[in-house]
Amino acid sequence: MSDDVKFRSLAEGAKTIEFTRMSSCKDEVRQYFAGLTADWEMKYYRVDEYIAEGDRVVALAHVSFKNKRTGKVLETPKADFHKFRDGKICEFFEFYDTAKAIETAS
């Protein structure tokens, strides 16, 4: 990951999943993952397809997480968009069912 990485989530820091706010450096990305692992347990992350062209890679996936506070399980399609510079991720944007994620965490 580049030092100036732009790391975004479709939920953009929504209530109950505040850790998804935009990150603009490696330390903030670490905070994202600390928040994710504090609140959620990954059940699976299955990549169905990679699409690559130039400096961009897209992973089309399905994921499942259990929320540690509510006990509810989230299952959703997911798309992860990566942009690379000098062999490092400089941009990341994840798309998933945010309404379902917020409901699962509520």
pLDDT for 32-79, tens place per residue?
999 999 999 999 999 999 999 999 999 999 999 999 999 999 999 999
Sheet strands (E) in the chain:
6-9, 40-53, 56-67, 73-85, 88-96
Q: Compute the distance between CA of residue 23 and CA of residue 8 in angstroms, rounded to an integer.
A: 6
Q: What is the mean pLDDT of the chain?
A: 97
Give me the residues paired with residue 57 across strands.
Answer: 52, 82
> How confident is the model at residue 16, as a pLDDT?
93
Domains for the chain: give ranges and CATH numbers: 6-105 (3.10.450.50)
The mean pLDDT value for 4-11 works out to 97
> How confident is the model at residue 41, as a pLDDT?
98
> How confident is the model at residue 73, as a pLDDT?
98
Q: How confident is the model at residue 29 (pLDDT cuts 50, 70, 90)?
A: very high
Q: Compute the distance between CA of residue 58 and CA of residue 74 in angstroms, rounded to an integer.
A: 22
